Amino acid sequence: MTDGPSYGFDTLQIHAGARPDPATGARQTPIYQTTAYVFRDAEHAAALFNLQEVGYIYSRLTNPTVAVLQERIATLEGGAGAVCCSSGHAAQIMALFPLMQPGKNIVASTRLYGGTVTQFSQTIKRFGWSAKFVDFDDLDAVKAAIDDDTRAVFGEAIANPGGYIMDVRAVADVADAAGIPLIIDNTSATPYLHRPIEHGATLVVHSTTKFLTGNGTVTGGCVVDSGKFDWSANDKFPSLSQPEPAYHGLKFHETFGPLAFTFHGIAIGLRDLGMTMNPQAAHYTLMGIETLSLRMQRHVENAVEVATWLENDPRVDFVTYAGLESSPYFGRVAQVCPKGAGALFTFAVKGGYDACMKLVDSLEIFSHVANLGDTRSLIIHSASTTHRQLTPEQQEAAGAAPNVVRVSIGTEDAQDLIADLDRALSAATA
Ligand SMILES: *Cc1c(COP(=O)(O)O)cnc(C)c1O
| Domain boundary assignment for the chain | 9-288, 292-428
One-letter amino acid at 309 equals: W
Q: Which residues contact 338 (CB under 8 A, 6 or more apart)?
A: none
pTM for the model: 0.96
Strand locations in 259-326, DSSP E? Answer: 316-319
Angle, helices 414-429 vs 292-311, to 10°: value is 40
In ligand 1, the atom with minimum distance to the C-alpha of 91 is: 9
- Region of 51 (left: φ > 0; alpha: ψ -120 to 50; beta: rest) is left
The Cα 313–Cα 315 span in angstroms is 6
Q: Which CATH architecture has domain 9-288?
A: 3-Layer(aba) Sandwich (3.40)
Bridge partners, residue 224, by sequence:
82, 204
Per run of 10 residues, the mean pLDDT along the chain (length 430 residues) is 74 96 94 96 92 92 97 98 98 98 97 91 97 97 98 94 90 98 98 98 98 96 98 97 94 97 97 98 98 98 98 97 96 96 96 94 96 95 83 78 94 98 96
408 touches ligand 1 (CB under 6 Å): no
Phi, psi of 102, deg, nearest 5: -55, 135
156 touches ligand 1 (CB under 6 Å): yes
Question: Among 73, 89, 120, 277, which is best to mutate for testing ligand 1, by the most ligand atoms less than 8 A from CB?
Answer: 89
| Nearest to 359, CA basis, from 286, 425, 275, 281 | 425
Note whether 187 and 165 are within 8 A (CB).
no
Note whether 176 and 198 are within 8 A (CB).
no
Helices (H), 312-383: 330-336, 352-362
Phi, psi of 136, deg, nearest 5: -75, -5
The Cα 407–Cα 319 span in angstroms is 11
For residue 393, the model assigns a pLDDT of 83
Strand locations in 129-187, DSSP E? Answer: 130-134, 150-156, 158-159, 164-165, 182-185
In ligand 1, the atom with minimum distance to the C-alpha of 90 is: 9
Please determine whether the domains at 9-288 and 292-428 fall in the same fold group of CATH.
Answer: no
| Nearest to 204, CA basis, from 176, 227, 236, 220 | 227
Note whether 275 and 94 are within 8 A (CB).
yes
One-letter amino acid at 116 equals: T
167 touches ligand 1 (CB under 6 Å): no
121 touches ligand 1 (CB under 6 Å): no
Cα 108 to middle of ligand 1, angstroms:
15
Q: Is 4 exposed, middle or buried (0-12, 13-18, 19+ CB in 10 A)?
A: exposed
Cα 413 to middle of ligand 1, angstroms:
26
Cα 251 to middle of ligand 1, angstroms:
32
Helices (H), 186-233: 190-193
For residue 2, the model assigns a pLDDT of 54
Does domain 292-428 bear CATH number 3.90.1150.10? yes
Q: Which run of H or E residues covers position 344?
A: strand 344-349
For residue 388, the model assigns a pLDDT of 80
In ligand 1, the atom with minimum distance to the C-alpha of 112 is: 13
- Rg for the chain, CA atoms, rounded: 22
Bridge partners, residue 132, by sequence:
107
The Cα 212–Cα 190 span in angstroms is 7
88 touches ligand 1 (CB under 6 Å): yes
261 touches ligand 1 (CB under 6 Å): no
For residue 416, the model assigns a pLDDT of 98
209 touches ligand 1 (CB under 6 Å): yes
Handedness of CA 212, 218, 219, 224 (dihedral sign): negative
For residue 359, the model assigns a pLDDT of 97
Cα 298 to middle of ligand 1, angstroms:
22
The Cα 396–Cα 418 span in angstroms is 27
Whole-angstrom CA distances from 26 to 21, 29, 31, 65, 392 are 5, 7, 11, 13, 54
